[in-house]
Structure 1
């Protein structure tokens, strides 16, 4: 008989070492090989669960190799309350510093992302749960001041359980301190980005984390003021699945996007490029596609033009963006409580220059049309657009709007959520932007829902687009009391491109392929692109004061016989 006693004896250290090589996924509980897991930035290959990263790992993941340079915050008070619970506060701090190798919960560096300079403040949840104390607040403020001094964008990576209770009211004061620092960056026109990681709660969520121009969130990351346990204990009810997660935040208009970890660097780089791209040599542009002489505009029966304007195969806003805007990053949410799929907003690069693009989005299929509410924005859509317009003004980049909507959404929910006010705010915001604005009516221009995106320096119309105070169907029903009078109403409204040019409502008409834009969508989109680029080049170099004066004078003149002089406005 063979002696097997030796085979039963196992080396405890070897067993421990092998066990340490593996871990269970926090999402699907699959067994993961640790080294491979770390090579893919701690993302489960099976379910996509994102494990927490340290501040050092964040910096390494986001910044170009070797570009990180430390920024040292000012020294702060130590144990201001002489606090002690189950352990003295100084002992807790010492343990956290030994565990993390960090002086506190935030690491601040300067660096580059694909060559674009940026200041990064990365929080580390291992340090007392990323709690916001005086040292962490000073680090965030120091990061903002470093960005201000170098006129650089600021990227905040958040991970926090809330305020640091051991520092009492001084911890609370950091919310105001950091919010003031963010306000200075707004005043200076510097881009701010937040990357929400899991978890981000309390004072961090209710201050600097929510104040950035763009809020990104990792998949599954949670953010809120009160944690779910506090809410459940207070209300005595069970919260729905996915409450406060990144996906929940986007759905409710509180975050812009949820890029997976491997896509973070490119997304951040695109945003930085939009904020800092130097003037580039203009791209080639074909012959002027805009007709400005009313005699040259081809006329067709109004009913035919309306049919072409509504054709579901006409290029949509997303079609145009995909065709001629580079490095586009779509922004979501009105920061109040909703997002609107009928409105598309974002930043990208056109003709070598950063631009903000805003447009109505219908879709081509029935499913798309339903999901996009047939291109009829809710109040959240107009608030999202206004938010994006303000970002353009802050960064000093032009705005391009593409109009194609039957009108604003007329539902009860829209009225309860302030549809009229949301449209009015858009009108006022566009009229006050100190940057060039170019608008193209690409399909339907329905009433105030269309005008909300059309208070521009240059307003153009596609050849088969329409623009009117009301739909012909609505006009026929109200004034003729006869739905069958739609054609008569359409003719009377003079809503075609030629009539709009004669009335001075548009500055030019963009040609379309024979038969309409739907017959050759790419060619039609290229014509719109050339018209937009040409208009932007005309406006390039004008001061904000000039743009505001001329834009307001433009709309001041409508309906007035002869000239008009605005009182209090220099000629």
Structure 2
């Protein structure tokens, strides 16, 4: 999946429902689930004539097509709007068709791909059509509650009640380039206010920039994106028992705490980007909170390490020294990761590598302290398996916010402390000159953390991860695969108690 908006032509080609199905599903695999629509008994002759004309124009009997097919050999349910049928509007018959398809997908335990393109609910049917969005939303809720993937591909245009219901509930949501997407139809806004709606707001690329959708993807690239998602969400053969890695016998580094801190601050040290590129087998990046916020300080992704699938959320080292530190928006994005793990019944992997959270007026006004608290609350009580990785720097509340987990892995030169040692030195001695002494005294290094009972697994650096980034990340990837399997093996009835006791007994 593209990491961001793709370049598009001024007037991109828009596919109808049949064209999208042909572009995304394996050739010849589509099977329709549709039966003849039953229109409202109260439909006027004029409205019935409109329906007849719409069917002739579009070649479909309603504004949606439902059915199933294969994507790279995997069985998938699909719901696709036909915009040429009364602007893809949803009346009672269309709502019933959508609901029936979602319920069938749930019963047959199929992942569901929705491709809306609609002006919203059908004005000719009034309030009853409008209320159909409640029934559709409930069907989506039940599908997700069953632990089944719901994937959304927003097409041009998607507005009104469709965007405000089944168009905005995807576990993963991508959109076609240049698509008009929004709650408010521009024509309605202009009629109400006497002026056009501002340009560039309700466009897929702008929604990506604001963290509302995960990517902008042309139709011909959608199948590979769905395939990658399903490799994580619905792997062939399920999750397999991981082999024991050689790192199980690795001991802490003999370096002192300050030496590890200095190594961890090397800008060439492999970060989360390196880990996903060299340590994971499948990665699908996600984007933002889905609620209009995006902070570059955190990466969220679906990933598969060997035979183990997971949700990944972790600190992302800035590419430039003057980049802003991790802000409160990062932890709101982290909560999305926790929700995905819960919804999709997947383990959660957190990756810690931060010099500290943002210390600014903006962070305070954005609720940084509360976001750290809510992240801790969510992780310590997460019912799903969890693994945390101390990859490098582990400083302050920003590190603590991603730490609670069933199993904890550390790189040999990682560390964890309440403040940068320079800050602790300034507090205690009114000078930063004693930072190295403070680091040693506080027990921030892996040897002390393991002795205290926090670290379960150490990944060696030979002798420094920056000198062998790809090899180090490959070893870390195998350790992650193994520990994800260990975490999954913990009985659900014991998980929260054992996690709580891990932290309650530290140092005893």
Q: TM-score, normalised by structure 2?
A: 0.93
Shift of 1:313: 0.9
Map of 1:244 onto structure 2: 202
- Tell me, yes or no, if structure 1 residue 193 matches structure 2 residue 126: no
The question of whether the paired residues in 2 share the 8 Å contact of 1:476 and 1:483 is answered with: yes
Map of 1:260 onto structure 2: 218
The question of whether the paired residues in 2 share the 8 Å contact of 1:116 and 1:273 is answered with: no
Shift of 1:166: 0.6
- Tell me, yes or no, if structure 1 residue 481 matches structure 2 residue 414: no
Map of 1:332 onto structure 2: 287
SS of the counterpart of 2:295?
A: coil
Matches within 5 A, 1:91-110: 91-110=49-68
> Of 46, 60, 77, which residue of structure 1 is paired with 2:39?
77
Deviations 1:465-510 (A, max 9, x none): 1101111122122222223232232223221111111222222332
The question of whether the paired residues in 2 share the 8 Å contact of 1:81 and 1:168 is answered with: no
Map of 1:405 onto structure 2: 354
- Tell me, yes or no, if structure 1 residue 462 matches structure 2 residue 403: no
CA gap 1:235/1:473 in 2 versus in 1, 3 angstroms: farther
Shift of 1:424: 2.3
CA gap 1:308/1:179 in 2 versus in 1, 3 angstroms: same
> Of 542, 545, 554, which residue of structure 1 is paired with 2:493?
545
SS of the counterpart of 2:388?
A: strand
CA gap 1:104/1:257 in 2 versus in 1, 3 angstroms: same
Map of 1:31 onto structure 2: none
Map of 1:5 onto structure 2: none
Map of 2:69 onto structure 1: 111
Provide the C-alpha distance between the structure 2 equivalents of 1:310 and 1:45, rounded to a whole number of angstroms: 36
Shift of 1:114: 0.5
The one of the two structures with greater contact order (alpha-carbon pairs below 8 A, sep at least 6) is: 2
Deviations 1:240-266 (A, max 9, x none): 542121111111121111123222100
Deviations 1:281-315 (A, max 9, x none): 56766423553xxxx53332333221111111111
Shift of 1:331: 0.8
> Of 472, 492, 501, which residue of structure 2 is paired with 1:524?
472
Shift of 1:199: 0.6
CA gap 1:74/1:102 in 2 versus in 1, 3 angstroms: closer
Map of 2:3 onto structure 1: none
Map of 1:287 onto structure 2: 246
Moved more, 229-238 or 412-421: 229-238
CA gap 1:502/1:155 in 2 versus in 1, 3 angstroms: same
- Tell me, yes or no, if structure 1 residue 57 matches structure 2 residue 19: yes
CA gap 1:234/1:309 in 2 versus in 1, 3 angstroms: farther
Q: TM-score, normalised by structure 1?
A: 0.83
Map of 1:342 onto structure 2: 297
CA gap 1:528/1:558 in 2 versus in 1, 3 angstroms: same
The question of whether the paired residues in 1 share the 8 Å contact of 2:412 and 2:446 is answered with: yes
Instruction: Give the alignment's Cα RMSD to 1 decimal.
Output: 2.3
Shift of 1:398: 1.9
The question of whether the paired residues in 2 share the 8 Å contact of 1:390 and 1:429 is answered with: no
Q: How many residues align?
A: 502
SS of the counterpart of 2:424?
A: helix
Map of 1:501 onto structure 2: 450
> Of 216, 223, 229, which residue of structure 2 is paired with 1:271?
229
Map of 2:398 onto structure 1: 449
- Determine which structure has more spread, i.e. the larger CA radius of gyration: 1
SS of the counterpart of 1:77?
A: coil
SS of the counterpart of 1:57?
A: helix
Provide the C-alpha distance between the structure 1 equivalents of 2:124 and 2:369, rounded to a whole number of angstroms: 47
Moved more, 490-499 or 195-204: 490-499
The question of whether the paired residues in 2 share the 8 Å contact of 1:79 and 1:89 is answered with: no
Deviations 1:320-348 (A, max 9, x none): 10112223111111122211221111112
The question of whether the paired residues in 1 share the 8 Å contact of 2:308 and 2:485 is answered with: no
Moved more, 499-508 or 167-176: 499-508
Shift of 1:180: 0.7
> Of 136, 154, 159, which residue of structure 1 is paired with 2:117?
159
Map of 1:27 onto structure 2: none
Map of 2:328 onto structure 1: 379
CA gap 1:310/1:108 in 2 versus in 1, 3 angstroms: same
Unaligned runs of 5+ in 2: 1-5
Unaligned runs of 5+ in 1: 1-43, 562-571
SS of the counterpart of 2:117?
A: strand
> Of 38, 41, 47, which residue of structure 1 is paired with 2:9?
47
Provide the C-alpha distance between the structure 1 equivalents of 2:192 and 2:160, rounded to a whole number of angstroms: 16
Moved more, 115-124 or 242-251: 242-251
The question of whether the paired residues in 1 share the 8 Å contact of 2:242 and 2:485 is answered with: no
Provide the C-alpha distance between the structure 1 equivalents of 2:390 and 2:59, rounded to a whole number of angstroms: 57
Moved more, 67-76 or 282-291: 282-291
Shift of 1:280: 5.6
Map of 1:10 onto structure 2: none
SS of the counterpart of 1:190?
A: coil
The question of whether the paired residues in 2 share the 8 Å contact of 1:434 and 1:545 is answered with: no
